[in-house]
Structure 1
């Protein structure tokens, strides 16, 4: 019994020992496995991923700071500065570092004047910025203000004085619609930048071109961002610079504009509304591009304040609208030379085809008025006397779709491709256009009577002054088109060499030379026999042109136009298209003066002074300038001034490899009486379109 019990205990003890050994073995195996995993992890971290973690560790003690480049300057064809940069101190706040924003601003205002306008501007900028971004509260601080704040800087965490480059537009309102402006990058623009291939180049950049040339040539003007690699402490403070790459400034952009011509044209408009585009027909260079009224683009530096924005945005004169690029108007009789060319090219008319102009034309039981009869009328007489009947009949014979197909290549109803964003397409109607534009079935239908008014530049026709100038340049260049452009060339920021911007070659529209010449002879005769002869009396050069009077509101067929009975903004627009010299044109233009009446009364006198400036170097006398502004001018009066003598106030820079154009000087002949032709109050020889 005793022996049995001992055996049982022995067996039980042995079983316990074996179980213990098993548990110890398993535990040892687990520990060994864990150590193995730890060793493997150490191997991965220390060997396989050593380089990646070394770089991460290095980045924890280094910082790469972008160096924003200086923005490129903009100059005119003669080196006159239109956009440049200057350095100034700004007082800025980083919201994420400020506990009580309003209290901080109030405290800062005790040291440095902070106006209500500054506060409104700051709040507006906050809406487009992130909390960790530094936002200007005051710009252009004086040295005294900088010193005063710096002495108390410790009181204002999150508030700093920074030196920044600011954009400056020395000529203010002159060519403002063309130059455009820059502004802070908004969320939509930032998203587009982040999705582009140029995202890295905009690190640290806060502004971007918003409009005009500043927008279109953003890439060339922006430059190349540089960088500095700095060693930092654990708190993020810089200790020393490890390496760097300097920023490359943006290139200097040379425009085709002649700012003297631009300013003169703007002065000629005075307080009136309108637009003018002048082009060199030989190459498409835009010499002047005027939209009136304008605005001072310096207002947008750093963001425009609400008061000025409301004044500009709500003005009935719409100064923010670029009328030359985006304003569309019926062309009136300035359309007739192009309709005449289309009639010849389509075979619907010959140069010597004669129609009878009895002063009106009846179609489908409806009589289309024509003002006064011109009798037997061929192409030349139709343009010189501005016969409506000739073009009523031509439009009817061609039909709307044929008119569309022949006028579209000339530049009507399509964008020219100029180097500016936002160009309006205009309207050159067709049956398909009407079906696509209107909703109701009865509106979609094209009625034969609607075609008639198209022939005289009315009806659905609406074009920009750029398009009319583009077509005029084509006619001046005997049927060869050059794409209009403002960018003339670039001065490389590194090499300092000037390089012309490449332009596409001219395109021939394939017109028969005899047809083009017939129209050219007719528009030249307008200045010697037609409606613009009084304004161009005594000119020392030949020119060609066509006046136009376009309705701003519809006048019934049985009613007679009477400007005195209409509100100012309901009166007809005054238009003129022209080029000079007639034999070998150097400049072509289109001009409109809104609600100013007949073409010869307001638009044509402006064109005459533009040609005198460009071809003769003459600047109007003060008396003549005042008469043009008032719409009471004919041929120039008074003694013209030498245009070159009035160019001294502009700040210029020398452009290597670019020879500025010297203004000619052709003094007026002495011993001859000044022209006394007064502008007619009625459209002499021209129909009321």
Structure 2
């Protein structure tokens, strides 16, 4: 009864209402679907029509890859066009893991076949590198393969389908240590190099380059030598594997550089300094061209190119002879008596001396009110002299007196104008400034006041005064050019091998570095230097006897350690490194000098013993070859001749040592 009652109470269904409701819902759903379709179509049109260019570029970026191509580095020649820095093919052995039938087995088999210097750790590192890169990318097994190894691999390549030989150009220095301090070397780019390249906006140009100039000309002219990178436009698949090359933009090679150095003079300098610590620089005083620049001992730069080992580099660092130092531009030496002609210029221009000056040189000089004796190199003195004889005999007492009367302020001002204590402007970065002392310098450095005795020592190029050999050579070049500034340089010209850019030169400087009241002062100073060679008492007359050319010069003997007031110098009682340095500066010819040479030989006594004969030998060689061209074969024969003589010299020294 209850169920019947409930059915009677339920209202009847309204089918018309439900149809209308369903119809409304269907329309809304349809409109919603249409709206979504329009949105999709609109977005599709936006992507395909309006943003077509943008997304096509993005798609191409995923499909197309730019592979940078390194430019070939410019070559370096001497002034006779003999190559000093070459690019030679470096053969490396690589293997593609995905093509190898067994990577570890193939590496082991290649090691035995080619006699590679690989140990278990090296093989493990190769395998680790292969795990962390894509399998289709090659892994380097060994570098610096020789021709025999390349030939053996070529015959057996069928056994190793994943292996191949790759040839890359690497820097090579055929004369090893002969030009190291001038040319420098290239080595692998490190983090500091990358930071500097990024700061200069040049990082992209090194995307495919492994090496960069580290020293010398290689570093100074890096922008000229490197060139401009090119690229390959390649199509790649979704995994990054190259499918085909679409376009190629060739790299622009670096500029070839021709130096002012004559390789024959450089070899001569190396030969003369064999077994010695010292340096030689020869230059043209008219335009600053460096004809030879050698620092002994030197080192072979080729290991730095391939990647020098820690043991090899440690040996260079710990070598007591310090071969890494360029003694021409970085060695700080007391210039000693070589600066006396420069002091004459100062004295004349400041009216402290003149051609009529008469001075009595006793065995020592004393300042008024002082008991300290500044001794002359000749223990009984020199007697009466004028400015010319003072330079000829290198009378210390004359220049003690001149310096005392001039004062350090005037001396420093004039010597600064000669380039002392300043950069010479040479086109390598490895250069020290030396020290031209002043009152303020001593106060800052030692917290003590300058005293007159300090000035007296400066008068003969001793005391706190230090200079580089190149500064000394430049100062005398200014002397030969009547005060005109001379900038030493190694670049003769840079040439674009493509012929697009003009050659690059360094023009001579025409500025006056040191103006004087009377131009004859320069002649007076040079006359004193000519008497050093040609005068009856000249300190260089024996070393330069019977030359076929006219030459002027000045010797210098620099003390390394002080000696007591009443003691005499005894080289035999001193350690070798405490013995005097010998210096000599000379130029030729007397009228309109065309060549100047400066020599320093460490710890080998007075200048007349080694330094002066060395300067003579360099000038003799210059005039012997001056008008004679030179080829690579001749230079090679000259090098072999020098090497044979050096071996004989070493043998004789060994025999003499055994006798003693």
Q: TM-score, normalised by structure 1?
A: 0.81
Structure 1 residues 134-153: aligned runs within 5 Å: 137-142=142-147, 143-147=150-154, 150-153=157-160
Kindly indicate whether residue 497 of structure 2 is the aligned counterpart of residue 515 of structure 1: no
User: What corresponds to 1:112 in structure 2?
Assistant: 114
Looking at structure 2, the residues matched to 386 and 30 of structure 1 have their Cα atoms a distance apart, in angstroms, of 110
**Residues 519 and 133 from structure 1, CA distance in 2 versus in 1: closer, same or farther, beyond 3 angstroms?**
farther
Residues 259 and 492, structure 2, Cα contact 8 Å, conserved in 1? yes
Q: CA deviation at 1:177?
A: 1.1
User: What corresponds to 2:440 in structure 1?
Assistant: 432
Looking at structure 2, the residues matched to 96 and 558 of structure 1 have their Cα atoms a distance apart, in angstroms, of 83
Matching residue within 631, 634, 637 for 1:649: 634
Structure 1 residues 665-680: aligned runs within 5 Å: none
CA RMSD of superposed structures (Å) = 3.7
Q: CA deviation at 1:435?
A: 3.4
Structure 1 residues 196-345: aligned runs within 5 Å: 196-345=200-349
Q: Deviations over 1:229-250 (max 9, x none)?
A: 1233334333333222222222
Looking at structure 2, the residues matched to 593 and 121 of structure 1 have their Cα atoms a distance apart, in angstroms, of 49
Matching residue within 362, 368, 379 for 2:366: 362
3-state SS in 2 of match to 1:588? strand
Q: CA deviation at 1:20?
A: 9.5
Q: CA deviation at 1:9?
A: 7.7
User: What corresponds to 1:56 in structure 2?
Assistant: 58
Kindly indicate whether residue 597 of structure 2 is the aligned counterpart of residue 589 of structure 1: yes
Residues 332 and 548, structure 1, Cα contact 8 Å, conserved in 2? yes
Q: CA deviation at 1:557?
A: 2.3
Matching residue within 373, 380, 404 for 2:412: 404
User: What corresponds to 2:530 in structure 1?
Assistant: 524
Q: Deviations over 1:205-244 (max 9, x none)?
A: 1111111111111111112222221233334333333222
**Residues 22 and 409 from structure 1, CA distance in 2 versus in 1: closer, same or farther, beyond 3 angstroms?**
farther
3-state SS in 1 of match to 2:546? coil
User: What corresponds to 1:193 in structure 2?
Assistant: 197
**Residues 120 and 258 from structure 1, CA distance in 2 versus in 1: closer, same or farther, beyond 3 angstroms?**
farther
Residues 356 and 376, structure 1, Cα contact 8 Å, conserved in 2? yes
Looking at structure 1, the residues matched to 95 and 413 of structure 2 have their Cα atoms a distance apart, in angstroms, of 59
User: What corresponds to 1:379 in structure 2?
Assistant: 387
Q: Deviations over 1:358-404 (max 9, x none)?
A: 11112233221113312223221221111111111222222222211
Gap runs ≥5 in structure 2:
1-7, 638-660
Looking at structure 2, the residues matched to 104 and 342 of structure 1 have their Cα atoms a distance apart, in angstroms, of 77
Q: Deviations over 1:97-118 (max 9, x none)?
A: 99x9999865642333232699
- Say which one has the larger Rg: 2
User: What corresponds to 1:681 in structure 2?
Assistant: none
Matching residue within 460, 467, 476 for 2:480: 476
Q: CA deviation at 1:606?
A: 0.8
3-state SS in 2 of match to 1:591? strand
Looking at structure 1, the residues matched to 416 and 99 of structure 2 have their Cα atoms a distance apart, in angstroms, of 60
Q: CA deviation at 1:49?
A: 2.5
Q: CA deviation at 1:576?
A: 0.3
Looking at structure 2, the residues matched to 482 and 247 of structure 1 have their Cα atoms a distance apart, in angstroms, of 38
Kindly indicate whether residue 465 of structure 2 is the aligned counterpart of residue 461 of structure 1: yes
Q: Which moved more, 1:609-618 or 1:556-565?
A: 609-618
Q: Deviations over 1:619-665 (max 9, x none)?
A: xxxxxxxxxxxxxxxxxxxxxxx98799743479xxxxxxxxxxxxx
Gap runs ≥5 in structure 1:
1-5, 619-641, 653-689
**Residues 136 and 331 from structure 1, CA distance in 2 versus in 1: closer, same or farther, beyond 3 angstroms?**
farther
Q: TM-score, normalised by structure 2?
A: 0.84
Q: Deviations over 1:662-688 (max 9, x none)?
A: xxxxxxxxxxxxxxxxxxxxxxxxxxx
Q: CA deviation at 1:41?
A: 3.7
Looking at structure 2, the residues matched to 607 and 519 of structure 1 have their Cα atoms a distance apart, in angstroms, of 20
Looking at structure 2, the residues matched to 513 and 320 of structure 1 have their Cα atoms a distance apart, in angstroms, of 42
Q: Aligned pair count? A: 614
Looking at structure 2, the residues matched to 548 and 55 of structure 1 have their Cα atoms a distance apart, in angstroms, of 73
Looking at structure 2, the residues matched to 456 and 50 of structure 1 have their Cα atoms a distance apart, in angstroms, of 82
**Residues 437 and 153 from structure 1, CA distance in 2 versus in 1: closer, same or farther, beyond 3 angstroms?**
farther
Looking at structure 1, the residues matched to 124 and 298 of structure 2 have their Cα atoms a distance apart, in angstroms, of 26
Q: CA deviation at 1:559?
A: 1.8
**Residues 294 and 55 from structure 1, CA distance in 2 versus in 1: closer, same or farther, beyond 3 angstroms?**
same
3-state SS in 2 of match to 1:610? helix
Matching residue within 544, 551, 559 for 1:543: 551
User: What corresponds to 1:182 in structure 2?
Assistant: 186
User: What corresponds to 1:448 in structure 2?
Assistant: 452
**Residues 152 and 121 from structure 1, CA distance in 2 versus in 1: closer, same or farther, beyond 3 angstroms?**
closer
Q: CA deviation at 1:144?
A: 2.6
3-state SS in 1 of match to 2:192? helix
Q: CA deviation at 1:339?
A: 1.5
